[in-house]
Amino acid sequence: MLKTKIKNLSLPNCLFNASGPLCSTEEDLLKLNESNSSIVLSKSSTISNRDGNPKPRYYDHDLGSINSMGLPNLGYQFYLSMSDKITKPYFISVSGMTLLDTITIVQECLKNNDIQGIEINLSCPNIIGKGQLAYDLPKMDEYLSNIFPYINNNKNGKLIGLKLVPYFDIHIYSEVCDILQKYPIDFITCVNSLGNGLIIDYQKEETVIKPKNGMGGIGGKYIKPIALSNVRNFYLEFQKRNLDIDIIGCGGIETGVDVFEHILAGATMVQVGTQLYREGPEVFVRLQNELISILKEKNYNSLSEFRGKLKTIS
């Protein structure tokens, strides 16, 4: 009932982890491998291991989360080495600190036959002194034009995707698609956290996280409407252009209803971040069961019956 595909990769359900919480260590990745997540996605990897930003750098409350982690990870070679221990489709998230770093990591991922996908992160909002590349469209285009020559002739059947920022202006989706259609992109992930938010502890009269003067990426329920808008607008633009690019919805997935709405808006799959941090990998069982109940209630037998079929008020 929940089966889906990204291009030719068949998957048992539409749920997997976002690159961020609980996917950094061997223990994390093996727990995801044992869970109901249909894909295991690594933490965004850099050339060398990184400690990330000073703590406290993550804060969670009822409406969502704020983080300024700063890409703490064990380095791309560690995540490559995990490929022979992961029995599910295994995707590597890549977030090189420089263009050359990203090219190096992508090339090494392409050589590994046990890796099924690469998600190139163009949207991390939490690196001190660096902006989010996907907001600067000419620079993003130039960046991709330097990476994809290494991919085009060495793809080896791997799925290549981009993790994008939250976009807001309605015209921007067409402009981004002008860039995306130049490259053999299989999927996009919409969206990364909403950058440079601020949450205040009013009793202490101070910020709740330390890095960047308390500014961080906002996730969870806060950003669900923005995530849905990005999924929907890209879906409509891809349909108009006949672009064969799958959309991974990400943002505000707490219940089966949230999953259903992302699929209805046009997503092929969804990633879970903040709620995964809260519940652990067991969250995938609950979400799967809730989504199945919704489909049965609505007399749907598959995701394809309602994917992208969001109606507007006439």
Answer yes or no: is 210 within a domain: no
Res 61: pLDDT:
87
Answer yes or no: is 213 within a domain: no
**C-alpha angle 273/275/280, rounded to 5°?**
95
Answer yes or no: is 268 within a domain: yes
In 10 A of CB 40, how many CB atoms?
A: 27
CATH number of domain containing 177: 3.20.20.70
164-191 per-position pLDDT tens digit? 999 999 999 999 999 999 999 999 999 9
DSSP string, 129-193: T---GGGSHHHHHHHHHHHHHHHHT--TT-EEEEEEPPP-STTHHHHHHHHHTTS---EEEE---
Give the domain range for residue 145. Answer: 4-52+71-195+221-305
> 137: which 2 tokens?
């469209």
Res 129: pLDDT:
79
Answer yes or no: is 216 within a domain: no
102-133 per-position pLDDT tens digit? 999 999 999 999 999 999 999 987 787 788 99
Res 255: pLDDT:
98
Which of 14, 109, 124, 190 is catalytic? The answer is 124
* Residue 210 neighbours by CB under 8 Å, 6+ apart: 53, 54, 55, 56, 57, 68
To the query of whether residue 124 is one of the catalytic residues in this protein, the response is yes
Answer yes or no: is 312 within a domain: no
Distance CA 233, CA 296 (A): 28
Give the pLDDT band of residue 153 (cuts 50, 70, 90).
confident
Question: Strand 4-6 to strand 9-11: parallel, antiparallel, or no bridges (unpaired)?
Answer: antiparallel
Q: What is the pTM of this model?
A: 0.97
Res 170: pLDDT:
96
Better-predicted residue by pLDDT, 28 or 61: 28
Q: In this structure, what DSSP letter does residue 113 have?
A: T
Answer yes or no: is 246 within a domain: yes
78-98 per-position pLDDT tens digit? 999 999 999 999 999 999 999
Res 258: pLDDT:
98
Task: Write down the mean pLDDT value for the chain.
Answer: 97
Answer yes or no: is 91 within a domain: yes
- What is the number of structural domains in the chain? 1
